[in-house]
């Protein structure tokens, strides 16, 4: 299983769940988000844009590593990975 930590307004889509499990048959971050959207409709549109790229104000970390510093949405996942999806905080 892959553990996904959900925070911020995205919890509104997961029934306020802060943590969900995704089967390890999901192989990439894009697959993970697509899988989440099947279980929690609407969540994908909040995470990815029309080109299926992570929205500018959303950060995704796999085992503490920002996916933007690697393969982005093509980041490979494996059993036991921990994914954090965090909306950026802005303001002053």
In the predicted model, what is the mean pLDDT of residues 4-32? 93
CATH C-level class of 2-87: alpha beta
pLDDT recorded at residue 91: 58
Check pLDDT > 90 for residue 85. yes
Q: Which of 18, 12, 87, 92 is nearest to 56 (CA)?
A: 87
Check pLDDT > 60 for residue 92. no
pLDDT digits (tens, 9 = 90+) for 42-72: 999 999 999 999 999 999 999 999 999 999 9
Work out the pLDDT band at 88, boundaries 50, 70, 90.
confident
Give the domain ranges of the chain.
2-87
The string of DSSP letters for the chain reads -EEEEE-GGGGGTTTT-SEEEE-TT--BHHHHHHHHHHHSTTHHHHHB-TTS-B-TTEEEEETTEEGGGTTGGG-B--TT-EEEEEE-----
């Amino acid at each position: 299983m892959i553990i996904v930590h959900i925070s911020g307004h995205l919890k509104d889509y997961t029934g306020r769940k802060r943590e969900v499990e995704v089967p390890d048959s999901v192989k990439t971050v894009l697959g993970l988000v697509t899988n989440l959207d099947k279980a929690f409709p609407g969540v994908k549109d909040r995470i990815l844009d029309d080109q299926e790229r992570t929205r500018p104000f959303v950060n995704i970390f796999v085992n503490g590593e920002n996916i933007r510093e690697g393969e982005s949405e093509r980041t490979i996942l494996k059993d036991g990975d921990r994914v954090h999806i965090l909306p950026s905080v802005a303001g002053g």
